[in-house]
Structure 1
Amino acid sequence: MRPPRSDFPTLLASALLLASALLALPSHAQSNTPLEDNRIITEGYIQLAYELGGVLDPTLQPGGVSSVRPNWFVFAPHASRTGGEGMLGTAIARRIISAARGQPSLSVLHALQRVGLTGSLSLSAQRLGLELVLYGIPLDAAASLAALATAMNWEALADPRTLLTTAARFAALYWSAPGFFPLDKAERLVVTLERTLHEGNLAIYTDVGGAGRLYLDWRQGAGAVTPERVLTEFTLTGAVPAQARQAYDFAVAHAYDTPRPYQLHLLFPGMNWKSLLVAAFAVYEQARLAPTPAARDALIAMGNNYVAWREQHDMAQPVFTPASPRADEVSRPALMETLTPLLTTDFGTMTWSYADYAYSQADRDGNPLTSQPTEYSWAVFWDRWTGILYAFDQAYLQPEALWAMPEPVVDPTAPSTWN
């Protein structure tokens, strides 16, 4: 069971200070743990979600709920929380490794239980850990790798094809990892995942979150705001006004297209993608002025696609597939491919899983011996992008669900937090 949610008014008040601290002081992140940064980022996104949500729905109050289609910043706290859960998995895996350096465990279950994992969570992790042992991975190393998925979608492993493929991929990563001793090899996988999640979290929040903060600050002092004023008066470093206008005009003209335009590299060749952020804010303003709820929601969805493209195409992709892989890591793309079938996010009271998305698509290889979720990789842009658009469409059917904001993840000090 995940840790309980906090009292929202207290969380929101603290977000005002914490978000400003991280956005204003880029070097601040250097002294924080990944989970500490994740807490600041999640709380900062919650603040942005309510501020921009209030632009689109003037009746929305802090801590309240809106039936207006959620903008990108309403999705962001939940996605950040998911990243934090992954970082928590790495913290638990580190604990297993640290305990094993003092005294080896008697079994995979023992390794999990002595760091506080009990009940159904430990039994699910044990199942994956035992599969890894069959590949020759020692008990504690196997337990630490299984712990990386503590907050993920264990139900996906009920398909034996997914379980076997996931175990085989973990084993291949383990044997390819730098280091001689088993725990050192396992630690390299843990470090790789932690860095990947942390770097992506920081990159997206600094860029897209920072743009949102700049826009809302500009808007507060701008007086009567119109889409035209956004396009002519608001700017971001790197954005090209003519490109922002082009993207805005396209969004207004094609908001009702089915399917919604999503191959943006073909629509806007050569565009500086930061121009999309300026265009998105103008589109959100046009949505605010729309004559009908249907027109408003169609425009919000277009703005969301613009922000999400910038987020995933420019900020996340270089983290998942770095130009210069680090010698002390395993392959990031291979690690993300391994974890893809287990990915899941709680968007408030609505749950999205990558497995559900994969099973909703045509079988890629037509081979009944492979499960569909194992045929995708979160590190591949188009696999990730289409999965995110699927999540958007699901959430649009339940707009109020996303306003059940998450509590940021903290590293528990007591084993009783997990059961």
Structure 2
Amino acid sequence: MADDGRMSNTTGDGTRAVRAGLPEPVAHEPTMPGPVFAAHYHLPGEPAGPYTYGRENNPTWTGLEAAIGELEHPGGDTETVVFPSGMGAISAVLLSQARTGDAVVLPDDGYQALPLVRERLETYGVEVRTAPTAGDAQLDVLDGAKLLWIETPSNPGLDVCDIRRLAAAAHDRGALVAVDNTLATPLGQRPLELGADFSVASGTKALTGHGDVLLGYVTCRDPELAAAVRLWRKTAGAILGPMEAWLAHRSLSTLQLRVDRQAATALALAEALRERPDVTGLRHPGLPDDPAHRMAKAQMRGGRFGCVVSFTLPDKDRAERFLAALRLVDDATSFGGVRSTAERRGRWGGDAVPEGFIRFSVGVEDTADLVADVLAALDEAARG
């Protein structure tokens, strides 16, 4: 342990996930305090102290924010701000930084709700430029921008860009850099250590991992940037409930176990799908011949290439039959949970994907069982 009570930056990922954000032991007290439900606090005299009003702070947030900061940038000084959803976190960064007349750069193949943010930014007089994630193409539209938004691996296409290269180029041009780290998780990728100013994620996905909590967060090294994000949270009232914060912190204890199991099974599933003639467009960054593999191997940590595998079946009907034939997989739209999910992504519109495109999120089921279920469902779908 460091002098300030934090774990050293050489502590293992599993140990860190189990211990992150916990208070110093107090005799006869819980090892992890329960959620604090409070709209206001005793506040005699001047409004000083860490807790004054429930929209501004909460002890349960404090523990979770400390834990996430320890995972995102071990051994470093960070500030984390939690939100009630990933979109709350995304909006807080973009809307706290961009002003009328500014330009921001977004990926054109990123999260499905980014176009909603783009529409809002343009309403406020912010210029929005877009470019694909692959090939570091956002470099071509970076000049004069106030902020660069990176999503790597991208959702749902699973392309990867060079965070360090893009961050250096953006900073040379005077732009801030935010990285959506949702799919990688802080165990698979540490954007702040690669030069980003903001690491942002939907904790709804793999971070909490049980499909029962909506959560978002922003982690920064610069206190002024964190203060701007926190002020946006206070002003908008976009606050996380204490129960959700407690559930999220509790879930971090198994993060390393879940992420490692999911990454290993996702790779095994991708390898099995390579043998299927009815599967095209197979993507997983862990596959040696995947277009993103070289960069992912250099940038992502510990062989953790994520839990998502994407592929395309011949048409919409085949995809629907495949999903209906699965026995161990839920047809649901999130990813990163302990129970495997899959969906035909084109049902939502907005993503530039074929009608038969499947986004598959691997859970923690036994690898052999899950792979067998998928292959059997493909066979059943092919029979019509």
Same fold (TM over 0.5): no
Write 1 or 2 for the structure with the bigger share of strand. Answer: 2
- Structure with higher RCO (Cα < 8 A, 6+ apart): 1
Structure with the higher helix share, 1 or 2: 1
TM-score (norm 1): 0.24
TM-score for both structures, normalised by structure 2: 0.25
